[in-house]
Amino acid sequence: MTFISSSTGYLFLSIFGLAMLVITYVFAKSQKDNSKEGFLVANRKVGWVIGGSSIAASWIWAPALFVSVQMAYEKGLPGIFWFTFPNVIALALFSFLAPKIRERLPEGYTLPQYIRCKLQSERVHKIYLFPYFLYQLMAVTVQLFAGGSLVSMLTGIPLTTVMPILAVIALVYTLVSGLKASIITDFVQLIMIFTIGAVILPWVWSAAGGFGAISAGFGGLAGIKNILDPGVAFSFGIVTSIGLIAGAISDQQYWQRAFAIRKKQLVKSFVFGAILFGIVPIALSTLGFLAANPALGVSLPAGVDASMVGVQTVASLLPAGAVFLFVIMLLSGLSSTLDSGLSAASSLWVTDVIKNTSEAQSIRSARLAMVGITALGLLVAIGALYIPGFGLKHLWWVFNTIAACIMVPTVLSLYWDRLSEKGVFWGVLVAFVVGIPLFVYGNIIDKPIWIVGSTLFIVAISTGFCLLMPKKTLMEKFYYHLK
């Protein structure tokens, strides 16, 4: 069922892309800086307001915009609680982690670069690059998958046509000036999200019948209103909490901002970003509660993923013009993460793969990396369409669980000087080889005990190897040589 004509949809995408490109070009022209430092870390001069806004905008991606509403719709109050709370905590943790890495590696660019310097190990560095590149690949894939599904549902434009258009839009304006482009468009897109949200959401609430209509759906389809319901906490809360915190820690987008924001303003930036972010899923969850209210008769068209229920709610209660505005709001959130993912992938490529090149070669390589990760992400997004029963929630869970493999070793690397190369290598390797297949199998058979158990195993095994195989102290080395 379409709400906007295909021709209007194409026009909208063209205007949206042109607007982002113009904003980026004007900003880049005023800066007049073509250095590697400028392209990858914005000369390390980003202020806390712009920085915090960029942090929030880049974390307001497909799960925040769609999965949050889906969880409120399906699982009620506990669903949105276990989605929002760990999301906020994940960003807030960087108020501790970001100053620490700047203290340890003041002129750094990426977290894997720090790991290589810290542990003096090429094999650990290489094993770290896998989840870090994969996370950016999945960030691109998820945004294209969700954004394409959204536009396709509303306009009737084929999904395989929409996704390449969205990919090209984000790629073109991010190529202009790298992280600077990402940060300035993040700021603009966040303003659009909050401005449009402040208009659309109260309008939907009023059209539905006010707070009474929202509260009638507080239990979701599952009929559960207890925020701390043990069933939801076990089946959804544990996996989501670990996945979200691990996802942030394993996401180069936030380490890149940790190196780009002024050192004295890092704490303020990440706390501000966490607060701004938290507002979005909480506000959008009301759409899920309304959809769960049987009196309103909101239903998804056949074949449409459940993550689109928020859009369907707006479309069912408001005129087409309002739906158009809502699409702008959602695409702003998706684009902010898409361009951040491209920029993060380019910094990983230049810093950790090709290394030691000239300024001009570094920027050229960074741009080529953006093209490459965009093309690969698009291929994965198209491929996901042909996996039966595979939706946005599954894609999100899988790559967050892969990120969990390196969560604890990363934190330990910043705070524990006895962390050893051997402990990190074997802990992460076993978590990958054993834990991830168990997790995938648990999702295939749809058994919460397997899903939760495999996630806890991944965290436990990666932690255990690190703690049981620490660096020897000077005294231990002395006794070892005596023997």
Q: Region 462-471: what's the mean pLDDT?
A: 93
Q: How far is CA 389 from CA 95, 220, 298, 435, in A?
A: 38, 21, 22, 22
**What are 410's two structure tokens?**
């990363």
Find the distance separating the first CA and the last CA of the chain, reported in whole Å.
77
Q: Which residues of 214-247 are buried (b: 16+ CB within 10 A; e: fewer)?
A: bebbbbbbbebeebebeebbebbbbbbbbbbbbb
Domains present along the chain, CATH in parentheses: 6-392 (1.20.1730.10)
Q: Region 441-454: what's the mean pLDDT?
A: 81
User: 446, exposed or middle or buried, with CB in 10 Å at 0-12, 13-18, 19+?
Assistant: exposed
pLDDT band at 29, cuts 50/70/90?
low
pLDDT tens, residue by residue, 381-430? 888 777 665 555 566 667 777 888 999 999 999 999 999 999 999 999 99
Written in H, E and C, the secondary structure of 79-102 is: HHHHHHHHHHHHHHCHHHHHHHHH
pLDDT tens, residue by residue, 152-194? 877 888 888 999 998 998 888 888 878 887 888 889 889 999 9
Residue 304 vs residue 80, higher pLDDT: 80
| The overall pTM is greater than 0.85 | yes
Instruction: Decide if pLDDT at 478 tops 50.
Output: no
CB neighbours of 321 closer than 8 A, spacing ≥ 6? none
Q: Region 436-460: what's the mean pLDDT?
A: 84
| Count of other CB atoms within 10 angstroms of residue 29 | 10
pLDDT at 1: 53
**Which residues, in sequence order, are bridge partners of residue 261?**
46
pLDDT tens, residue by residue, 54-70? 999 988 877 788 888 99
From 282, 315, 43, 84, select the one nearest 203 (Cα to Cα): 315
pLDDT at 66: 82
From 466, 360, 341, select the one nearest 399 (Cα to Cα): 341
